[in-house]
Structure 1
């Protein structure tokens, strides 16, 4: 999976969610942290964005994974960091499936 494609898709989804919710959306770039910089982007919206993203990129992202916050540091991820995290996650899933086969 290409991080650039994931990033572009994620930006499109985040923008659409804000529009559909009637909320402001700041100009989105790879440096933006959705959790901190997008109005009302909270734990109720994260799973929706994650599910739409998984559908769009035709990938499986587990429901218990918060792609927008680093589990270890508890720090919000930027859009670029989120895209890289998703690519790493999908690569690990692929390797696990290959090892199990």
Structure 2
């Protein structure tokens, strides 16, 4: 999946969430860490953002995957790092889907 598409879709989702919540949304660049840089972007909002992103991209992001943090840590990821993580998830799904279609 195209990283530029994921980046623009992620930025759109984050801006939409902040606007809907009537919260400030600073300029979002590759080095922005949504968890640290967006007001009130917390554990109640992450799953919504992840679900919206997955739906817009047509991919499944498991409920136990937090794309906004480094795996098994509390380290916040930048938008560029999140995009790389989502690219890997999408590519893994694309690799599996043709096998499932052929199995039927």
**1:20 maps onto 2:20 in alignment:** yes
Larger-gyration structure (1/2): 2
1:1-101 matched pairs, under 5 angstroms? 1-98=1-98, 101=103
What displacement does 1:91 show? 1.5
CA RMSD of the aligned region, Å? Answer: 1.5
TM-score normalised to structure 1 length = 0.91
TM-score normalised to structure 2 length = 0.88
Greater mean alpha carbon deviation, residues 24-33 or residues 65-74: 65-74
Unaligned ranges ≥5, structure 1? none
CA distance in 1, matches of 2:82, 2:88: 10
Give per-residue Cα distances to partners, 1:46-98, cap 9 Å, x unaligned: 00000000111111111110000011443111111101100111212333445
Unaligned ranges ≥5, structure 2? none
Tell me the matched-pair count. 101
CA distance in 2, matches of 1:46, 1:27: 19
Runs of 4+ in 1 over 6 A off after TM superposition: none
